[in-house]
Structure 1
Amino acid sequence: MMSVRKVISALFAAVGFAAHAASADLPPPEPVSHAAMVKASIEKYIIPHVDALKVSAAQLPAAVNAVCTTGSPAASKALQDQFDKVVLAYAGVDFLRFGPMLEQGRREQISFWPDPRGFVGRQLRLLLLSKDDKIAEPGALGKQSAAVQGLPALETLMHDQDAPLGPGETARYRCVVARAIAANIVRLTTEVADGWEKPGGWADKLLNPGPSNDTYKSASESAVEIVKALIVGVSLTSDLQVKPQVDPKVKLAPPYQKSGLQKPYYAASVGSLHQLYDTLSLETWLPPDRLWMKDWVSGTWRTLESSDGYGGSADHAKREDPATPRELFDRMNGLRNMIANRLSVAAKLTVGFNELDGD
């Protein structure tokens, strides 16, 4: 198969060189400093997204309680709608796998996915068999397996047609567990937001590097952390959402398939990554003879965002020739390579990633 490097070269050859030559005649923009990259990323991307997750999660307990109290179709729909909001908000922070998300394993606790071995289902069955009401006590669920603490476990309870959530006795303990999970998600997302925003938290760490900082000694180190998160996000979307459609040996169910959210989750993932990419302004460091990279990246984002992630066209795009999963996979690996080995190098950032060629 063609390597990502060859894919990039072939795609570059297809771009109109006249446009590149014209853009090269314009004075280049002033490069955005590493400190400014970090500040913009925190203020315009990270804090708004962790706050959105916290706010949406805060509505889950009431929605779960309404279903368990009434069992009505309207309450079930309201819970699904709120669950959708939380999941799509989570897609915007999933790849920030450092700081508050990394601490105490919060990421796995919020969303235990991928789950190729079915831990969520197995651990949830064991918990339900125990029928221990102490699980409702504050902090009790947090001592259980991460597989039963977050969104996938709640989704499983929401979509169990054999024992739906409701006011009946058969659903009583299932509702005890569902309420505990919803409360736990609120706790976790609140801790993530607080971890970023509190005095001396991760926002302060990134914004104030130096000799006394135990994590970041320079603005460059802070910027590298965020750029690495962006690269990780592209990798996760490529390897976990798209690659299973390309490589039959990869046995991995799409994210939040029970709720029909696999395509919206792809769109939220790609849209969030694009937003963070734009916020970082890495392209301002490109010299005139490398401005073609901007056009290549712009075209790649258009391809990714015009797809539904599963071989079809996004609703807003209505393309007759949507990108195949193979094309998406190659494009994402090309984008990952471009950010890690071209744009970051131009911006004088050493992210520590290698060639990162795809399959």
Structure 2
Amino acid sequence: MRLFTRLALLSTMLLPLPALAQESNSTVGVLDAAKVPGVMARAVDGFIRPGYRHFTDQATAMQGAMQSLCSAPSPQTPDGAHKAFGDVVEAWSRIEIVRVGPAIEDNRFERILFFPDRKGTGLKQVQAALAKLDPSVTSVETLKGKSVAMQGLGALEFVLFGTGSETLTTTEGHYRCQYGTAIAANLQRLGAELSAAWDAPDGVAAAWKTPGPNNPLYRDEAEAAKELLGVLVHAAETIRDQRIEQFYKGDPKKALPRQAIYWRSGNTFRSITANIEGLRDLLDTSGMVDLLAEGNRSVVSSTDFVARSLSRVSADIKPDVAAVIEDPAQIAKLDFLLLNSRDLILRLNNDLGGGIGLAAGFSFSDGD
């Protein structure tokens, strides 16, 4: 009966979405090289730079919320820090899809988000730091030299929501609160570094906007277009492989809710939704549709339709991952995400990739 209920719910959800999970019918096009610099410029100025600025602003607000919590602990004051944490998670989740350039230099990405932590190494390091007074984790200047797993969103989530977080409501949690404040300051520092790197007039932004033989990153327009499309494909793969399948692969009995990202704070599906919305925003803002022949431009609208449907369903899933696994109606939504996240990958990789002149089936994430 439980399986029948899940299937019935999933079927109901799929009825209004007949375009999902269909085979590609797009043809291989020819890249319009003249339009690539404009697309890359819009991606930089309309999505990447604003995204890092917004993340930096939210990290700054997070730092302020932690300082307020530390200065006046009470049963009510953690609420502000909890809200600020959700906001900074959402801001990062939108821009984290750009896993290239400055984000991967100096391990910045892992410093902001060390996930998945398959062996629990990072968790153990954070727990050890909280178990014994260590002034070096309460200052951003010394914290930034420690393990990447101790200085980002995962560590801050444990400080605010993990075992022992109830002490934050009293002076007993002052050391824990100081550690959290240092993490927030470190997130602000990293965000500022990323913004500065993308704002530099002769830096990575210029390389994205001006592909050519003298460009150190992209020798021609095809390489630049491949980079941007690769960001989208890799983002879709990460949503499916590291966000959904990390804890759920289709069998509720084998689900691992505590393997889900941000499960302690209830931000799992808020983050996944922001990932999807970031992907949609980048696809739209960059104007990649301009790279397609007039007769093949429906590829972008159909891809966005799939992504929008995924976002709608993800946003409608309850925050408590453990409770989701016990609810057939919620499981049906997880099944929907599994089925159609695969379709999103294929549409980006095959349909959009083929449409702009790269052979269908090209694996951007493999770097081929």
Please give the TM-score of this superposition, normalised by the length of structure 2. Answer: 0.78
The one of 334, 337, 342 equivalent to 1:333 is 342
Question: Does the 8 Å CA contact 2:114/2:154 hold for their aligned counterparts?
Answer: yes
**RMSD, matched Cα:** 3.3
1:282 corresponding residue in structure 2? 288
SS in 1 for 2:186: helix
Query: Corresponding residue for 1:61?
Result: 63
* Alpha-carbon distance change, 116 to 340 in structure 1, aligned in 2, over 3 angstroms: same
CA contact (8 A) 1:95 1:230 kept: yes
1:226/1:190 Cα in 2 relative to 1: closer, same or farther (>3 Å)?
Answer: same
Describe the superposition over 1:148-205 as per-residue Cα deviations: whole angstroms up to 9, x where unpaired. Answer: 1011111111114535354855323222322221111111111111111123222122
Q: Which residue of 2 aligns with 1:26?
A: none
Contact 1:310 1:325 in 2 (8 A): no
Q: 1:11 to 1:135 in 2, by over 3 A?
A: closer
Per the TM alignment, residue 52 of structure 1 is displaced from its structure 2 partner at its CA by: 0.5
Q: Is the 8 A contact 1:256 1:262 kept in 2?
A: yes
Summarize the Cα distance change of 1:129–1:327 in structure 2 as closer, same or farther, 3 Å threshold: closer
| Deviation, structure 1 residue 330 | 2.6
In the other structure, the counterpart of 1:11 is 22
Corresponding residue of 1:192: 194
Structure 2 residue aligned with 1:47 = 49
Q: Secondary structure at the match of 2:211?
A: coil
> Matched residues in 2 for 1:105 and 1:222: separation?
23
Aligned equivalent of 2:110, options 102, 108, 111:
108
Question: Counterpart of 1:113 in 2: which secondary structure?
Answer: coil
Q: 2:208 and 2:294 mapped to 1: Cα distance? A: 30
What's 1:317 paired with? Answer: none
Separation in 2, partners of 1:188, 1:310: 31
Match of 2:184, SS?
Answer: helix
Name the aligned partner's letter for residue 77 of structure 1.
D
How big is the shift at 1:280? Answer: 3.5
Q: 1:323-351: CA deviations, max 9, x gaps?
A: 64333223222221222122122212479
Displacement of 1:48 in angstroms is 1.1
Change (3 A) 1:31 1:134: closer
Give, in whole Å, the separation in 1 of the partners of 2:86 and 2:51.
Answer: 15
Distance 1:139 1:219, change over 3 A: farther
Following superposition, the deviation at residue 130 of structure 1 comes to 4.3
Whether the 8 Å contact between 1:91 and 1:269 is mirrored in structure 2 is: yes
> What code does the residue aligned with 1:56 have?
Q
Equivalent residues of 1:242, 1:310 under 8 A apart: no
For 2:196 and 2:89, the matched residues in 1 are separated by: 19
Counterpart position of 1:255: 261
Inter-CA distance 212–327: structure 2 relative to 1 (3 Å threshold)? same
Which residue among 207, 213, 216 is the counterpart of 1:214?
Answer: 216
Answer whether contact 1:303 1:323 (CA < 8 A) is retained: no
Q: Offset at 1:85?
A: 1.0
Structure 1 residue 239 displacement after superposition: 1.3
Q: Which residue of 1 aligns with 2:310?
A: 304
Which shows bigger deviation, 94-103 or 216-225? 216-225
- Match for 1:279: what amino acid? T
Map 1:5-154 onto structure 2 (within 5 A): 11=22, 33-154=35-156
Point out where structure 1 has 5 or more consecutive residues left out of the alignment.
1-6, 16-29, 313-319
Q: Which one of the candidate residues 239, 250, 256 is aligned to 2:241?
A: 239
Asked if the contact 2:73–2:168 (Cα under 8 Å) also holds between the matched residues in 1, the reply is yes
Q: TM-score, normalised by structure 1?
A: 0.80
In structure 2, the gaps of 5 or more residues are 1-17, 26-31, 319-328
**Aligned equivalent of 1:265:** 271
The one-letter amino acid paired with 2:22 is L
* Structure 2 residue identity aligned to 1:325: L
CA distance in 2, matches of 1:69, 1:321: 40
1:242–1:309: 8 Å Cα contact kept in structure 2? no
Count of residues in Structure 1 that have an aligned counterpart in Structure 2: 330
The question of whether the paired residues in 2 share the 8 Å contact of 1:70 and 1:166 is answered with no
CA distance in 1 between partners of 2:96 and 2:227 (Å): 15
Contact 1:209–1:222, Cα closer than 8 Å, also in 2: yes
2:98 alignment partner, SS class:
coil
Larger RCO: Structure 1 or Structure 2 (Cα < 8 Å, ≥ 6 residues apart)? 2
